Structure 1
Amino acid sequence: MLDDFLVRAALAGLGVGLAAAPLGCLVVWRRMAYFGDATAHAAILGVALSLAFDMSIFTGVLVIALSMAMLVSTLSGKGYAMDTLLGVMAHSAIAFGLVAVSFVSGVRIDLMAYLFGDILAVGKTDLLVIWGGAAMVLVLLVWRWQALLTATLSPDLARASGINPERERLVLTLALALVVAVAIKVVGTLLIAAMLLIPAAAARPFARTPEAMALIAAVFGGVSALGGLQASLWFDTPTGPSVVCLAALIFLGASFIDLLRRGLSAQAK
């Protein structure tokens, strides 16, 4: 079954969607959208590192994504506004990454595949890495969910409950770096943040609890991945962007339903 490239692509997209969407809920709640963007953009520098030192792409991207996330966490609150700091880091990271890739000699590099993903080229080893990383992220979220949620809602309440907010932010940083590392093959560095944020944002109108929002976001993430893959085959469009386009359409549909529901509720009153 895994000899079929479409089956591998579908499984890869499903793995990324299921892992990224619940994590994206925490990113949305913490208002860390640009933080995810900066970490994802640094991934192209990880690609250059991997090619230069002849290591796996996953390892290089994970190291750089984690380093970027830690650097941003360390520098936040040190005299710079967070949005300014993240803007500088995000755009600098991708610029340095693209320049670094140009210095790697003797290797033919398809930058488009790293920028926008190449899900149809996913191999069996890639699939193992993607699902291994996705499983680690999901286990980490389930294990630390209550602590992460408490630290997100109120750092003071977390401290009073014996939870270290800085430690939970480190856990979230590690999970974010893992998602970036496994998602680069599927949607590329420029679209990873979209898979974190859009399914989570689309799930918000339908959820009454944080856990429900995470589960609905995971469903939307999986549907976006599988549906985007199918749409790219139908219309002969780039697969990574097609996945994100479908996620955006789901978000628009969810927003319309929410507005309609609010209007009907207002009329009832």
Structure 2
Amino acid sequence: MALLDDFLIRAMLAGIGVALAAAPMGCFVVWRRMAYFGDATAHAAILGVALALALDIPVFGGAVAVALVMALTVSTLAGRGYSMDTLLGVLAHSALAFGLVAVSFLTDVRIDLMAYLFGDILAVSRGDLAVIWGGAGLVLVLLAWRWQALLTATLNPDLAYASGIDPRREQLILTLALALVVAVAIKVVGVLLIAALLLIPAATARPFARSPEQMAGIATVVAVVSVLGGLQASLHYNTPTGPSIVCVAAGLFILSSLARGLRQSA
């Protein structure tokens, strides 16, 4: 399609694809207070990128595999005498450091490390678009399929057990979805900013939502607006695109916080 020959159209489609997957997933991250969990999974992805390049396999596959291993490791070790914040801090920074060191050994491979750390949405290809929308579609299917069970397990694990729902299984599904979101978002915002794209739209939507579904819907709108606004700001002011997207999202969060304060004082 000639339309996809325009790099800006490809960038917009890539950003929207990531936003559609990250926003509802981010709601569960906020509800479960998994901010550091998402950060650790994202940081691990750079190690996946290095391994994928070294083994000459698709970057998406390597990022998903290592992000999933990180998420499963955290889930397994949690509650075994380790403080969760300490465990996440150790694993997140260790994975990022090992990933950066591993990348330095790839002398035969040309790699733009900044693109993986902060994203390079303007360089998205048609193949990247297929991967992003395929991964985002899988995340949305997973969430739609297990929405009620995930919600019940998140809000009340005891009620989940009584309803025949295994909270640990739902945690595993969330873990898989999170790894997929991290992998598809690498090209758009980079591993250092993925957690921001997960958290900020959901946090922005929270004051205005009266139901979990409404929060997911508002968060999706906020994420899409952040992507489109960040792209426009990046082109107009010649700023890095990934950070620009996060800056727009942060601006929307500040506005929502001010609106919430005004509404409470009225």
TM-score normalised over the length of structure 1: 0.98
Measure the CA separation in 2 of the matches of 1:51 and 1:26: 32
User: Which of 74, 86, 89 is 2:88 aligned to?
Assistant: 86
Q: Which residue of 1 aligns with 2:118?
A: 116
User: C-alpha offsets along residues 119-149 of structure 1, whole Å, 9 cap, x if unaligned?
Assistant: 0000000000000100111111111000000
Q: Does 1:14 align with 2:20?
A: no
1:68-107 mapped onto 2 (5 Å cutoff): 68-107=70-109
Measure the CA separation in 2 of the matches of 1:40 and 1:243: 17
User: Which of 96, 116, 133 is 1:131 aligned to?
Assistant: 133
1:6-85 mapped onto 2 (5 Å cutoff): 6-85=8-87
Q: Which runs of 4+ in 1 moved over 2 A?
A: none
User: Which of 252, 255, 260 is 2:254 aligned to?
Assistant: 252
1:132-151 mapped onto 2 (5 Å cutoff): 132-151=134-153
User: C-alpha offsets along residues 65-117 of structure 1, whole Å, 9 cap, x if unaligned?
Assistant: 00100000000001011011001111111001000111112111111000000
Q: Which residue of 2 aligns with 1:164?
A: 166
Measure the CA separation in 1 of the matches of 2:149 and 2:217: 18
Q: Which residue of 1 aligns with 2:232?
A: 230
Measure the CA separation in 2 of the matches of 1:227 and 1:5: 16
Q: CA deviation at 1:233?
A: 0.3
> Secondary structure of 2:4's partner?
coil
Structure 2: gaps spanning 5 or more residues: none
What letter corresponds to residue 172 of structure 2 in structure 1?
L
Q: Does 1:184 align with 2:186?
A: yes
Q: Which residue of 2 aligns with 1:267?
A: none
User: C-alpha offsets along residues 171-204 of structure 1, whole Å, 9 cap, x if unaligned?
Assistant: 0000000000000000000000000000000000
Q: Does 1:240 align with 2:242?
A: yes
Measure the CA separation in 2 of the matches of 1:173 and 1:15: 19
- Percent identity of equivalent pairs: 74
Number of equivalenced pairs: 264
What is the RMSD computed on CA atoms of the aligned residues?
0.5
Measure the CA separation in 1 of the matches of 2:212 and 2:110: 45
Measure the CA separation in 1 of the matches of 2:134 and 2:109: 27
Please, which moves more after superposition, 232-241 or 97-106?
97-106
What letter corresponds to residue 112 of structure 2 in structure 1?
D
TM-score normalised over the length of structure 2: 0.99
What letter corresponds to residue 32 of structure 1 in structure 2?
M
Structure 1: gaps spanning 5 or more residues: 265-269
